[in-house]
Amino acid sequence: MAVDPLIELRDVNKHYGQLHVLQDINLTVDRGEVVVVIGPSGSGKSTLCRAINRLEPIGSGTIFLDGQPLPEEGRALARLRADVGMVFQSFNLFAHKTVLENVSLAPLKVRGRGKEEAERRSRELLERVGLLGHADKYPAQLSGGQQQRVAIARALAMDPKALLFDEPTSALDPEMINEVLEVMRQLARDGMTMLVVTHEMGFARSAANRVVFMADGRIVEDRTPEEFFTDPHSARAKDFLSKIL
């Protein structure tokens, strides 16, 4: 596969007070690649996602998106941020807006699309996540798995170049996890560039091009799922896998 970095972190460091939460992070996600990030709680996975989206400032280093260093602030940042969609553990849908409104709101406001165009596109995306029939419902009328699929459609509505997922299934009842993972697998097959923090090892094995294992703010391993799961190098990864598998 041609090397075509879409997201690239070079020597990224970040502290929270004394805590060195991201330590010399070097990471590349190529266009069309699916990178799964795993690691114990507190290892810096969420901070990594938020740093990539500039929801959190970094202390040093550079983050490139599609070859451009991420600006610190201002309109250039807003534009680049819109290029990276984010899906969180808590779906954060607007409770008083319909499913269709939730998906079409940001393209209307941020991308400056017309109402008809935004709604047409939103319906397409709802169909893609299997929820077209629920367009006029409110979030509370949907299951957790359905709400998370709406959140994915909402992220896609901005036509992002890449999607970041931070434990998208951790808040879901077990029987709903698969419907969300299946939508993510389909996105991967369609060529979406994705960075996915998850504890779903089945997804990592089947959908990831690479597995990145983090511990204590560092990337400890960055390998193919097959290599990682059959022969983890580090003691930290062996210990983690023995607990989770």
Judged by the rule CB under 6 A, the positions of this chain that interact with ligand ADP are: 16, 19, 21, 39, 41-47
Closest separation in Å from C-beta 88 to ligand ADP: 11
Would you say 102 and 136 are in contact if contact means Cβ atoms under 8 Å apart? no
Shortest Å, Cβ 142 to Mg ion: 24
Residue owning tokens 């409104």: 101
Nearest approach, Cβ of 167 to Mg ion (angstroms)? 6
68-69/193-197 β-pairing: unpaired
Residue with tokens 């451009």: 68
User: Nearest distance from residue 56's CB to ligand ADP, in Å?
Assistant: 8
Rg of the chain, C-alpha, whole Å: 18
Between 45 and 121, name the residue whose CB sits nearer to Mg ion.
Answer: 45
Task: Quote the tokens at residue 13.
Answer: 């460091």
* Contact set for Mg ion, span 31-90 (CB under 5 A): 45-46
Closer CB to ligand ADP, 5 or 42, in the complex: 42
End-to-end CA distance of the chain: give it in Å, rounded: 30
Select 146 or 198, whichever has its Cβ closest to ligand ADP.
Answer: 198
Chain centroid offset of residue 146 CA: 17
- Nearest approach, Cβ of residue 89 and ligand ADP (Å): 10
The option from ligand ADP, Mg ion, none interacting with 44 (CB < 5 to 8 A, set by class) reads: ligand ADP
Which amino acid type is present at position 123?
A: R
Nearer to Mg ion, 99 or 208 (CB): 208
98 binds, among Mg ion, ligand ADP, none (CB under 5 to 8 A by kind): none
CB 162 within 8 A of CB 6: yes
d(CA 164, CA 187): 12
Tell me which of ligand ADP, Mg ion, none is bound by residue 19, counting a contact when its beta carbon lies within the kind-specific cut-off of 5 to 8 angstroms. Answer: ligand ADP
> Which three-class secondary structure state does DSSP give residue 239?
helix
User: What residue ranges bind Mg ion (CB under 5 A)?
Assistant: 45-46
